[in-house]
Amino acid sequence: MLHGASAMLGASVLADSAVEHYRGSFDNPGMYTPLVVSAVTMAAGIDGASGQWLPRRMRDGMYALSGAVGAIGVGFHTYNVLRRPGGLNWLNAFYAAPIGAPAALSLAGAIGLAADEIAETSHPDRLKLFGIPVGRALSAFTALGLMGTVSEAGLMHFRGSFQNPFMWLPVSLPPIAAALTAKAAIEPAGERDGRPMTRSWLWLTSAMGIAGVGFHAFGVSRAMGGWRNWSQNVVDGPPLPAPPSFSALAIAALAALRLRDLEDA
């Protein structure tokens, strides 16, 4: 399940960075990097989730690469913003390279690495990451990831003036899911009710991520020229590949909850 989430996040980054860097005309050869790396991450995730034909070491190498490239991407995007007139201001936050976006790649890598760690051990309930039980660590990590994605969606929907009421969904549903997941990360052991509330919100968030593609497709259709003007509207309109990153993180959080249940048991 964690590998699957990793693959899904990788796919979202692949499609999103392909469109966005195409918009940027691939001016800097480095702009191809996230395409290659997110494809690699996706491959690692699919491999991990299905047959595991690749040696673990190689898969982990792929995940680690993803984590590193995401961090470097944040640096590049920050540089892109700072060198524009006005530097760090709202205008550049809206229209220059999105500073937080590459972090999704790091998230995908980290989730994948954790997945392999867990698969290796016969006692995942005793596994620790950074000295913290893995279920708790991953819950906290995915909650943070969800909140990062919420801020990016919030910024972009603010740019769009929340002109459609549904644009409030990704800034209202996922924060609740993230808060509940964070609660699962820190609450004392012994909660054995299976956290139905948290799971429901996460499934809802996951479904919202898929539905978001539909909303964004509608957005493209109502821009001038609609789908016939795809060469403008797919690039300039609401990004079709962005919303599933919510789904990927929600699924990862669900997997983390399962580990939490084991730890509690």
Residues that bind another protein (CB under 8 A): 23-25, 84-86, 90-91, 94-95, 158-161, 163-164, 219, 222-225, 228-229, 231-232, 235-236
Q: How far apart are CA 62 and CA 91, in angstroms?
A: 35
Mapped onto helix, strand or coil, the DSSP state of residue 128 is strand
Min separation Cβ 91 and another protein, Å = 6
Q: How far apart are CA 144 and CA 51, in angstroms?
A: 30
Diameter over CA atoms, the chain: 57
For another protein, the closer of residues 122 and 231 by Cβ is 231
Min separation Cβ 33 and another protein, Å = 20
For another protein, the closer of residues 32 and 162 by Cβ is 162
Min separation Cβ 37 and another protein, Å = 24
Closest to 2 in 3D by CA, of 114, 121, 137, 86: 114
For another protein, the closer of residues 194 and 225 by Cβ is 225
A 10 A CB-CB count for 134 gives 24
Min separation Cβ 155 and another protein, Å = 10
Min separation Cβ 170 and another protein, Å = 16
**CB environment 242-259: b (16+ within 10 A), e (fewer):** bbbbbbbbbbbbbbbbbb
For another protein, the closer of residues 92 and 198 by Cβ is 92
For another protein, the closer of residues 200 and 232 by Cβ is 232
Q: How far apart are CA 167 and CA 161, in angstroms?
A: 9
